[in-house]
Structure formats: structure tokens, C-alpha cells
Structure 1
Amino acid sequence: FAVYGTVDEGVIAQPVLAPSDAFVQFGGLDISTSSTALQALSDAVLYLTEYPFECSEQIASRILAVAALRDVLDAFQAEGLPEPDELVKAVQRDIETLQGLQNFDGGFPVWVRGWDSWPFHSIHATHALARAREKAYSVPDGMLSKALDYVRNVEAKYPSWYSRDVRNTLTAYALYVRARLGDVDRARARQLVRDEGTAGLRFEALGWLLYVLTDDPESATEVAEIRRFLNDRVVETAGAANFTTSYREEDGYLLLASNRRADGVILEALIIDQPESDLIPKIVRGLLAHRKRGRWANTQENVFILLALDKYFRTYEAQTPEFVARVWLGDQYVAGFQFAGRSTDYQAVKVPMAFLAEREGSQSLLLSKEGPGRLYYRLGLRYAPTSLEIKPMDQGFTVLRTYEGVDDPEDVRQDENGVWHVRSAARIRVRLTMVAPSRRYHVALVDPLPAGFEALNPALAVTGSIPQDPAEGERTRYWWWRRTWYEHQNLRDERAEAFASLLWDGIHTYTYVARATTPGEFVVPPPKAEEMYSPEVFGRGATDWVKVE
């Protein structure tokens, strides 16, 4: 179990109660601290600067990323990026390239000047020009004026076949870009919320509209509706948060939509609208956990997340950290951590379970900070229960395990007391069912083997062929194209493991085959699923009893 938090000044107190049914030789209280929520972002920026294609959206995304993140990257002295002067020149070249693509109507085509202007690409390119001007890059007045005029009248530019949903989302994005350029139209934003209702608008649209309407007394009703809707739809764990939505094919084609982009858009809006919200650092952690190879999946995800993280940095981490954090447990001093200058390093200490168990009742853990900067902390409790009869638990996952006979269904049966009876030397299919109520990051599914079982590894030549799982159905000629939810698996002597960097919400199955090699009675620890970097998000099945006869 774990809790996360931030300290801007003063002291926080957290009650700590040692479990009464735990071995004192194992586990303890893990306390980790850091001075930033922004781990290295250079890979995401490099992905955009080195992106090999150059349609108007991709050029605009490159401008947005470099312009917005320059302060953050300079502060953390990001490695691997071109020199600052080179980045400035690259942005100016991209602005000139966009100018060469701009059509007479002020909009932007996808590839070639003179082709039809696309509403999304035009709004996005205007957004890039607005951000570049905010960061003091040179943007031609005539170019920006024409682009703004197109965006101001974009609702007249939609092709007749655009759906209402697509039109509403584009209109919200246009209102957001206009607001960044000082051309604020709150009346149209209010009308959009009233006409469609919050449930009728995409998450990105709500984020963009919240940016436009916040702090406007005449828009208080609409702002309250958006806040309430977002609070009802957010999916939270102890350390992370995200907004789950679904997209149709046309959303990817016309809007370049994705869940991570929606999280980025909403994050920026929340920082402006509710800067004290506990959701903000959780969304940041969720987005950072979703990276693969240091970046997100596509140009749109990277740019909107980077824009939101730039806003986060300028709002909460503008001060260079120069502080000392100290930890007490009751009247006992535990540790001190010093942070001087920008760094993505963590500092941590572990309080052994034996120390916690010596004290009766609840104790107060005090965490203080002295000096400028923001302190991020995680308090996590690990313990080993004394009872072998461990009950199922859902703290983010539901996990179920069953055993089946491979060659003969009669080889495996479960009696009325829940004990599994397995014929000696039989092959058994172990079936794990894992339910994730929302998307999870860096997931490990682990199934301990009974001591009398041995996993059959199909990667070894001596194993021979493994019968196909009947639940998978017939293999088609394209069976190899079907992808599993997991990216990697290990079949070890004592356990089976499956791993996924990103696990979508839903029901997921994992199976493997073992052989009953040793007669006897065995206690089998529960199967468990967890987020490896947030182990407090976990789920486990029940303890099983197996008799090999």
C-alpha cells in the first residue's frame, strides 16, 4: 500500500500502523522523495525534431514542442539535444516552411500548397504560430493574421460530411487557439457547452473549453458542469490518474485523437482552472509512466503532453530547488534529504518492519520541507502476512486462477472444499484471468507454481509440442498475426511471469502448461498482478491447495 503527495511548505503528517499479522523479518516502510515530477523529456523532443515526415501537422508539432519545452530542457540540461542556437534556427526554418504551405484562405493543407485546407491541420498550425510568438520567435504578422482569420471562421469551412462530434471538437480547439492569441470568444464556448452538454463533447473539447471559460464570472455554470463531469470520469489509483474514452475511426482520420492526448489537454486546463487539485500530479505520473523508449506513441501525443508538462513546470517548479526534507516517525528522527539544483534523482530510506512493530498503535510520520522548491514523496508499506490462507484482494486488478487437464479432463478436479486433485505425471493447463478496470502501466502478472509442478517451456527443444488452448479456437492462416496482451513472458522453476508496458482495460487471459512431477500436498501462493513502478496498484487471487496423487 502507498500514498503519494507534495509539500510546498511546512509539514505533513501521515498515520502509520504496522500490520498485526506480519512477519517482522520482512518488509517495512519505504520513503522516497524527489524535487521534480518531470523525468527526462529529451527523448520525446528528439522524436519530434527528428521525425522523418513533414506534413503541416508534423511541422507544427515540432514547432510547438521545441518552443514550449525550451525552458524545461535548459533547466535540466537535457542531454542529446542540438545546441540551443540550432533549435532556434530550426524553429525559424519550420515557420518559414509553414508559411510556404499556407493557402490563400489562410488555412493549411496536409502536404502541398494549393490543395484543400484541412480544418484540424489549419487550427494546429495556427496554434504552433501562437506558441512560437509567446516564446519570442519571429512569426510574420501577415501569416499569423491570415491564419487567425481562418480559425475565427473555421465553422464555415467544415465539409458537409464531417460529423457533429468532429465539428464540435474542432470548434473547441479553434476557440482555445483564438484565446491564446487574445481573440477570446467565451459566448461561443458557453453556447457549445449548453447545446451539446458535457456528455456530448469529447474530453479534449472539454479541456480546451475549460481553458477558455475559467475565471469568467458569466461562465461559472458551464465551468462547474465541466469540472463535475471530469471528476466523475477520471480513473484514479494511489499514484496515477487518467481519463478513459473511446474513439471512432473518423476521430483518428480527422482529429488525430488518442487517450493520452486527451489526458495532456485536460492536464493543462486543470493547472489553469484548479491549480491546487490533487489530480494534477497524478495525471503527470500517469502520462510519464505511459512512455515507451522515453516518448509517447505519435506526434500529437508527444506535443500536447509536452505542452502540458511545460505548463506544469512553469506553475509548480519554476523555483530552483534548494531545500532540505526531514522525516520523523513518532519522536524518532528517521532521515534527512538535501536537494540542491535541478535534478531528476530520487532519495529514499527504508524503515524495517521490526522497527514499526516495536511500537504499539498508530504512529505519526512527519515529513517537513525547508527552503524553496516542491517536494514529491511516496510512502509505501510492504509486509509478509503470517497466515498461509491469503484471501483475494482487488487494489486495481482482479486475478483468478484455475487448473485444467490437458490430455484428459479427469486428470484434474476440484473437490467441495476447494482442494485441487491432480493425477501424478499429468499435464495441466494453468489458466489465469486478469481484469483491469482501466488502463494500467508496466504490468507484471506472476503465478507461483506448486512445488510438485514443473512448467513446460515451449522454447526448449526437449519440451516437445504443447497442445493448443481449446479456448483460443481454430487457428486461421493468419494466426501468427494475433498479438497477445503481454510483450514478454518467463517460465521459471518456481513461477510463471507475463509483462506488458501498457495494459488496456478489459479481461485478459494468460495460460501455460505444467506437469505434475512430484506426489504430495502443496500450498500454492496466490497469483498476483501489479504495476511494477506503482506496486500499490495490485490484485491477487486466493491461496490454493493442490494434491498430486
Structure 2
Amino acid sequence: MAGGDETRLALDLSNLTATPQTLEVHLNAEGQLNLSGLSSQTLTLSPGQRSTLQVPVKALGGYGTGKLTVTVKGLNLPGETLAPFTREWTLGVRPAYPALLKHYRAVLNDQPWTLPEGELQAFEPAGREALLSLSSRPPLNLGEQIRALKAYPYGCSEQTTSGLYPALYADAALLKRLGLEGEPDADRKRKIELGIERLLGMQRYNGSFGLWGADGQEEYWLSAYITDFLLRARDQGYAVPPDALKKASERLLRYTQERNLIESDYSDNLDHTRFAVQAYAAMVLARSQQAPLGALRSLFERRSDARSGLPLVQLSIALQKMGDQPRAEQALVAGLAVTRAADQWLGDYGSPLRDQALILALLEENNLMSGQREARVFALSDQLAASQWLSTQERNALFLAGRDLLGQPEQPWTAQLVSGSQTRELNPAQAGLKLEGPLLASPLSLRNEGSVPVYQQLTISGYPQHAPPAGGENMSIRRDYLGMNGEPLNLKNLQSGDLVLVHLAVTAKQRVPDALVVDLLPAGLELENQNLGQSAASLENASSQVKQWRESMQNAGVQHQEYRDDRYVAALNLEGYGTTHLLYLARAVTPGTYRVPPPQVESMYRPNWQAVGETPADMVIKGR
């Protein structure tokens, strides 16, 4: 259910005794569930009689669970004294609308900072929380990067890998400093083990990796990224099958030696894409002294192919580890001087922010250019402040760039948070704080109690009280709820059992090779058919327009689909012309009134390219 949904739960009571029973039924709702009717009822059941009580409930906003407790009193059996009979059920509650994030950055000197009045009212109270980060250095908002990576609900090979890095490197002590609650060590280790298993399930026959599975296209840069993680996990003591690592390393070796092996369906500069793959593969291999020096020197001669500094820095580290210090120094100087253009897609999952963050992480990890690193932190923080949306690549790069900074000494500082009636002191030992409940209230202010400037980052996250306006950048999405004849349905008058054909129309002005479509289902609908794209029987009586859409879907660049309990997900390659049509079938099941989530589409690695479609406010399903 979603916040605001109203429905009726059916409670069956049967008298299996030989005597009449007069029962008192008491109902109690907790968490994010409210009773909409009476909390107690009395009913009489004859021997063998069955009765169904309708329990009207309403879901509250936010994300969590609601619990319904039923207590039955008065059960009478000859010669026995029976205690009340109790049963509990839980219902998941999720927001109807996409998550909302608001960022507030400031430098605290002698004047306090105050959260603007009314800002908290944009969020549903349930599920509203914030992460506060303070530092004498410009913040990279590590706590928020870790939280967002952990919460990301989809799992291609890149997203899986990026989401595992914080689990690999962020222990409970680091999380506590950031204001986050760490999971038990056994759970963290199990998460990494399951992640490794999932990644190995995406390894292709030749040692490379696919984006969504082993049967997908070879992902060259990602193969180096995943192999890098697997080797790091092995070095941390996790079990990674040697054969899988051997195959992956052999594939990376071929990348370094055979430039033309590397292809790209979509890159604004194929020479850079090949250079980036080769440089990353070389660095991964050089850590274990497996990178051929001749191949590295040949790559160095083509350093002008690079359109970003990151692969040059990676090549520099590979050359240094393989013993060619002069070329390593030249490549490093060149890499630190190159800036990536923001308007180019280079087939390496990167962006100016991602590349600069990974460069900083590599400089710290390899103890290079210590005199420049502080200035690079300031520049990276400015880039972060200008970025409204972040990809999983960017978030993990920021985490890797910032994790070593936390271990370095900083100037002493103290600050005080006042939130409603609550007060907290912060300092370098406790630089982060999670705010929720009474600790996230108005008025909220921060004051620097020392003389050292303190950089503040406050991120409030939660779910909006109202549907977001339709619109977006570069892309658009439209959804139609249709009958099987292709005609629009009256969403205020659906009958339980009705089939609903859902049509999604997605367009892009510029090509988006990594589009992700997400359509959350209203709680009263259930997915009916998981293979509609190849099914003709269910659409025999559909209109010619619907049949054209089905043929279009079969020919579309759909790379991956998921049919979950509460949503339909599709990853696809959107061309910069025409319309991509997607279809899936659902069934109206449970009577009630339900909020209708809007359809969404985003570019996974150009996160500012995203769109939200229009949506009706409610869907009403009536019983037959």
C-alpha cells in the first residue's frame, strides 16, 4: 500500500465447535496503518457457521510497515477456560511518489545558519530524515553517498559493484562518525559474499562481464571495474573463485594488447573509450605485476587519445608499478591537467565529477601529489555542490575519494545543533549526525562555536506529500491504462478482476543508451503476465494500435525487464528519434481507493536526464 490508500481487509471467522459462540473481536492498527472503522465488534456464530468481517484501513505516508492485531475473546468450550486468541499481520507501506532530496550547504563562521521556514513541510512526516555532515574541509557528503548506494533498488553489474564498495571499506566506527548505523559484521560480510556471487553470475564465457547478465553484450570498461573490485575483495579475505579471477584477468590482458578488440555501440570518441579501457585494465593488472611493459609504453605513445585525466592517471600508476618511473611521471602530469567535457558520452560510465573523484582517490591510495590533494578536495566539493543528481558511479567515486580523508587529522572545531527542543554538540570525533523524529524539527539552526571555518552539509530525504509535476530533461514518458480492446479505462470505476493493459510511451531528444523505466503499481493492481512482449494470445482481441505497439516493443532496444510485486522495470536503449512503446498486463484485485504513482524514466549515468509522467490522483477498484 501507499500513503493515503484506503482498502478493506477481509477477516474470516469460522465456528468449528458444536456449540454457538458469541465472540468479541478487537482490532488494533500500529505503525503506518490506521483503522477507518470500529475497533471492536461482537458477532454470534452458529455451529459450522463462517462469517467474514470487513476491516477498513488507511495507510499513512512514508516507507515502512503497518501492523494489524486481532484479538478474539469469548470462545466457549465445555469444561475449559480459554485465554483470548490473538493474531498479527503486517502490511508493507511504500510511498506513491519518487523520493525527494534537499541539500543545504553553508560555511559556518561567526553567524549561525538556520533552515528556511517551511522546508520540512514538503515531506511526509513518516520516513523523513536528514544527514548532517560538518568538517573543517569542504564536505563530500560521504554519509549521504553511502546511504544512497545502499538504498538504490536496482542491480546491474555496475550498480551492484558500486553498492558493495562501502560495505567493503566502511566499518562500524567510520559509519558512526558519519552519523550512520552500521549493520552487524556478519551481515556486512554476508552482503559482500552475496554480491560477489551475483557479479560472478554476470561473467561471460570469455571472462568479461555483461551489464545485466552473462548473456548480455560485453562491457569493456565495466569488466575492468568489476575485476578491480573482486581483486580488492579477495585481498580483504573474501573467497573469490580463482578460475573466475584468472579468466577475468586474461580478458583484461587481451584488452591491453589488442586495442581493436574494444568496441562501443555509443561513444562520442571511440579512441578515448579504447584508451580508457586499456589504461584501467593495465592498472588492475599492474597491481599484481601482470601488465606487459611493452603494451603500457605503446599506450603511453597514444596518450593524446585521452579526453579525460582519469585514464592517464591510471596509466601512470600502471607504469610506476611496472618500473617505468619517467613515463609514469609524464602521464601523471598530463592526467592532472586534462578536464573532461561535460557534454560528451565517452563509453566509460564517467562524468567530470566521477573522473575527478576517482583521480583524487587514486592520488590518496598511491600517495601521489600530496601538495595538490587539498586543493582538489575544494574543487571536487564545488563540483558536488553544482550537481543536483548523482549516478551510482559518481556516488561510489566520492566515497572512495573521501574515505581516506576521514583518517587524516583536521583542525579542531566545535559546533552546536539546535533542532526544536533538542541540542547536540559536534566535533571532529562526531562529525556526522542522523536527524529524525524530534531531532529533525523546526526551528533548526547550526552555530560554529570556534574560530575555524566549518563546512556544513545537510541533506534532508523523504517522500513528498503531493505528486511531482510532470516534465523532465531530454526525455519524456506517458502512461495509458487501457482495456484489452485498447480503449482508455475509467480509473474511478474498475471492477475487481478486470484486466488492465498498461502502455508506456517513452521518447528522447538525444540518444540515451542507459535509460531505466520504472512504473510503480497502485496497490490494488497485480502484474498478470510476465511475458507479454512474446505473447499473442492475451491480445487477440486488442485494437490494431495495441498490436502495433506490441510489435514495436518486440523490436525496441529493451536490454532488461523486471516484473516485481510492486513495479515494472525496463532498461533500454532510447534512440534520439521516434517513440519506444512498452506494454505489460495487470489485473485489478483488491477493492479500495489507491494513489497512482507517476511513471518515471532516467539515464542511469547521466542522472540529470530524467522525466516524470502525468498521473491521475486515484484509482478506485470496486468489488463485484
Q: Aligning the two structures, in what range does the TM-score lie when normalised by the shorter sequence?
A: 0.3 to 0.5
TM-score, normalised by the number of residues in structure 1? 0.47
Q: Of Structure 1 and Structure 2, which has the larger fraction of its residues in helix?
A: 1
TM-score, normalised by the number of residues in structure 2? 0.42
Asked which structure has the greater RCO (Cα within 8 Å, sep 6+), the reply is 1
